[in-house]
Amino acid sequence: MREAKLTFETLFQYGKREYTNHNWRDCVAFMLSAIEDFNYFVGEIEWCRRKCLKVIETRKLKDLLVEDEDNFDIAYMYGQAQQALCLFRCKTDQFTEQRPPLLNSFVFEEFQHRKPYQYLQFCYWKAAESITRAISPSPIQSEAQPQLYINMGNLEQATKAAYTYLVGNPNDADSLQNVAFYMEQKDFKEEMLIDAMRMPGVAAYNEKDYLNCIGHLKAATDEFYAEEEKCRRICEDKLNWDTIDGVNPEMAIILTSVYTSVLRCKNNCAKQLSVINGHNEGFLLSKIFEYLHVCQYNMKQGRDACQSVANSILLNPNNPVMRQNKHFYMKIYEQDDLFEPSPEVVKFYKRDAMERLYIDFVDERFKYENGELPPEREDDVMAMKVDFAVDDSFDYHSLDYELISEAECNALNVAAIFEKQHLPQVHAVQDLQTKLSQRYGMELQFMVLSCTDQKPLPKCNNSLIIISVDKNQCGTLLSHRNPNGCTVIYCAQ
The pLDDT tens digits for 207-222 are 655 557 788 889 889 9
Both 74 and 140 in one domain: the answer is yes
- Backbone φ and ψ for 449, nearest 5 degrees, come out as -130, 115
- Number of independent structural domains in the chain: 3
pLDDT tops 60 at residue 115 = yes
The answer to whether residue 25 is domain-embedded is yes
Q: What is the pLDDT of residues 352-368, one digit of tens each?
A: 999 999 999 999 988 88
The answer to whether residue 365 is domain-embedded is yes
The answer to whether residue 391 is domain-embedded is no
pLDDT at 133: 43
The answer to whether residue 283 is domain-embedded is yes
Amino acid letter, 273: L
Characterize 297-332 residue by residue with b for buried, 16 or more Cβ atoms within 10 angstroms of its Cβ, and e for exposed: beeebbebbbbbbbbbbbbbbebbbbbebbbebbee
Both 298 and 155 in one domain: the answer is no
* Rounded CA separation 410/416 (Å): 10
The answer to whether residue 397 is domain-embedded is no
pLDDT tops 50 at residue 147 = no
Both 465 and 365 in one domain: the answer is no
Q: How high is the mean pLDDT of the chain?
A: 83
Both 131 and 177 in one domain: the answer is yes
pLDDT at 138: 63
* Rounded CA separation 353/431 (Å): 34
Both 154 and 246 in one domain: the answer is no
The mean-pLDDT minimum among 86-95, 190-199, 292-301 falls in: 190-199
pLDDT at 371: 79
Residues 6+ apart with CB under 8 A from 241: 257, 258
pLDDT at 315: 95
Both 222 and 181 in one domain: the answer is no
Both 181 and 73 in one domain: the answer is yes
Among 207, 202, 165, smallest CA distance to 182 is for 165
Both 163 and 276 in one domain: the answer is no
Both 173 and 233 in one domain: the answer is no
Which residue, of 192, 224, 252, is where some domain finishes? 192
pLDDT tops 60 at residue 64 = no
The answer to whether residue 173 is domain-embedded is yes
pLDDT tops 90 at residue 182 = no
Between 153 and 91, where is the model more confident? 91
The mean-pLDDT minimum among 125-134, 247-256, 272-281, 433-442 falls in: 125-134
Q: What percent of the chain lies above the pLDDT cut of 70?
A: 83
Whether the pTM exceeds 0.85: the reply is no
Following CA atoms 110, 39, 288, 391 in sequence, which dihedral angle do they give, to the nearest 10 degrees? -80
The answer to whether residue 236 is domain-embedded is yes
* Rounded CA separation 475/400 (Å): 12
pLDDT at 129: 39
Both 41 and 152 in one domain: the answer is yes
pLDDT tops 80 at residue 490 = yes
* Rounded CA separation 481/206 (Å): 12
- Split at pLDDT 50, 70, 90, the class of 128 is low
Task: Assess contact for 9 and 99: CB atoms under 8 A.
Answer: no
The answer to whether residue 394 is domain-embedded is no
Q: Which domain holds residue 126?
A: 8-192
Both 366 and 218 in one domain: the answer is yes
Average pLDDT over residues 317-324: 92
Q: What is the 3-state secondary structure (H, E, C) of 224-276?
A: HHHHHHHHHHHHHHCCCHHHCCCCCCCHHHHHHHHHHHHHHHHHCHHHHHCEE
Which residue, of 137, 167, 192, is where some domain finishes? 192
Which residue, of 192, 213, 228, is where some domain finishes? 192
* Rounded CA separation 120/30 (Å): 9
Both 412 and 270 in one domain: the answer is no
